[in-house]
Chains A and B, each alone.
Chain A
Amino acid sequence: MLKLKGINKSFNVGTVNEKHVLKDLELHLAPGDFVTVIGGNGAGKSTMLNAVAGTWRVDSGTILLDGVDVTNTSEYRRAKYLGRVFQDPRIGTATNMQIDENLALAARRGKPRTLRWGISSKEQEAYREQLKALELGLEDRMTSKVGLLSGGQRQALTLLMATLQRPKLLLLDEHTAALDPKTAAKVLELTDRLIAENQLTALMVTHNMRDAIAHGNRLIMMHDGRIILDISGEEKKKLTVEALLERFSESSGSEFSNDRALLG
């Protein structure tokens, strides 16, 4: 479903802050893979997701989405294939637009926008049902501005928006990091459910090792712009945080450095 071949990306080239973030990165996701991504500070987790999403062009390498070469495709064109949820709950939704308007925008991802009315009453009914399934009471607030929602509600809505139009790949960039533990757990539960229901392929960056182990069918660990661990199947099911930390220092020759990951 996704193939990254020899991806390189540097930032601030030619300055003292030059940083080679992704180094000959290779990754291959099979359809239906739900991969959790973990790694230390500056390992390149979010950068990898942004490379896939097309936030900027990579320096070298090839990105294939379901066989289509999107390496030089602009971000908004690539959106056709991708569902995305961001770390900051404010980024995934339009604050001053209504809940149903946000959903209607998301439902038209990758489709031409016409001069037909922006939201049909048939759609509205469908959204009501889908919001009801979130169990946040949003189905009664469809015409409320999204800015009035809490961070957790906004992330849940963003998740729904990302999957409304089935994406070939769902990109989750630490989407529970800004939430309190209880809300984070709920949003993760919803993530699992939406991925299972729609049989999605997903890439989920997380700072929480326990979450990375508990969710998905495959776990990759990044260090210094590369993937140093790739664990799936039975092996992943048996994984513990301690074992993971041990395998990290074996593979990287250094201590795991992500304050939030250790605290989480």
Chain B
Amino acid sequence: MDTLLNYFSSLPGAVAQGIIAGIMAIGVYITYRVLDVADLTVDGSYCTGAAVCAAMLINGHSVWVAMLVAMLAGMVAGLITGFFHTFMGIPAILSGILTQLMLWSINLKIMGIALGKVSAAVIAVSSRNYKLLASMLKMGDTLLVLAIFSVILIAVLYWFFGTEYGATLRATGDNPQMSRALGINTDIRKIMGLVLSNGIVALAGSLLAQYQGNAEINMGRGAIVTGLAAVIIGEALLGKLTKNNFALKLFAVIVGGIVYFIIYSTIIYLGVESNYLKMLSALVLACFLAVPYWKTRFAKHAKRSNVTKGEP
């Protein structure tokens, strides 16, 4: 009985973490779904966002400035990956891995500088000492702030991807060959997409640092898996409803993030050793990712028309 009560009391926290992960996953959505690039920079830039935000806070800057600078830092990370990928011709996945590895050192250094050390793995930023937007100690306010934040982000992105420029980003991910034939510099668009994506991821990282009251070097580990899981869970649950509407698709990503963390809490409640959670996440995601492949494999025998329909 006691543990069941604990479970229910953990749910608001799961929702808050889910929204933050959902915001991060919107960044993943931009690269993975819109640009058709699997960008692993995320594992590094999520932590960069948290580290920069915490570093700015303990140096006396306001939470707004801290978050803005955190976002800019994430954008620079995306710029580096984009540069590796387009200018240096390195495959997107490897470019992301390289930046991610660079960020490991950089994140330790950022936190180190902020604390006046050579390097540091943790910075504490409790809401008792700083004026924060989100904190697990003020769950009600936090949920409201996060919800408003998501709505604003979705509105801005809906507008951006509807503009002439935003449409060229979608076109680049959809059909780069056509895009170039229509005068679109696809390299620049890929870089812009990676910059935007990692900016959002870092912004989510800055919210997570505030929420849990610290920035910590391992925060980003597995972020890409969480992000992809949120994207795919959202599509699986709401795919039918969001068919043609970009804003609804992004909303589904947030819902995916929330569902992911509720499942996470449930698994912990069921007594699974928390050490296994990353493994479970990866396995569940692997199965979900296999679904479209399985569908086309079996559809091939049944109906040929589905093959062209199902292509990316």
A residues contacting B by CB (< 8 A) are 53, 74-77, 79-80, 82, 84, 86, 90-98, 101, 104-106, 108-111, 113-119, 143, 145, 147-148, 161
Contact = CB atoms under 8 A, between A and B. Distances in A.
A92 B163 contact: no
Contact of A76 (B165, B167, B180, B312): B180
A19 to B, nearest CB: 22
Nearest to A111: B183
B284 to A, nearest CB: 26
A70 to B, nearest CB: 13
B210 interface: no
Interface in B272-312: 308-309, 311-312
Contacts of A109: 182-183
Contact of B164 (A76, A82, A91, A115): A115
Nearest to B188: A76
Contact of A97 (B165, B170, B186): B170
A115 B184 CA distance: 15
Interface of B: 160, 162-168, 170-171, 174-175, 177-186, 244, 308-309, 311-312
Contact of B183 (A77, A93, A114): A77
A84 B309 CA distance: 24
Nearest to A110: B183
Nearest to B172: A94
Contacts of B308: 147
Contacts of A98: 244
Given A79-B180, A115-B163, 11 more contacts: A75-B180, A79-B181, A92-B178, A94-B171, A94-B179, A95-B312, A105-B179, A113-B184, A115-B164, A118-B167, A147-B308
Interface of B is mostly: helix
B175 A95 contact: yes
Contacts of A113: 163-165, 167-168, 184
Nearest to A107: B182
Contacts of A143: 244
A118 B164 contact: yes
Given A93-B175, A95-B175, A80 B166 contact: no
Nearest to A78: B183
A148 B175 CA distance: 16
Contacts of B165: 113-115
18 contacts: A53-B181, A76-B184, A76-B185, A79-B182, A86-B177, A94-B170, A96-B174, A101-B167, A105-B171, A106-B182, A108-B182, A113-B168, A113-B184, A114-B163, A117-B163, A118-B162, A118-B163, A145-B244
Chain A CB within 10 Å — which of B177, B178, B308, B309 has the most?
B178
A105 B181 contact: no
A226 B5 CA distance: 82
A117 B171 contact: no
Chain B CB within 10 Å — which of A74, A76, A80, A84 has the most?
A76
Contacts of B183: 76-77, 79-80, 108-111
Nearest to B36: A96
A229 B225 CA distance: 60
B308 to A, nearest CB: 8
A109 B162 CA distance: 17
Nearest to B186: A76
A120 B105 CA distance: 48
Chain A CB within 10 Å — which of B160, B168, B174 has the most?
B174
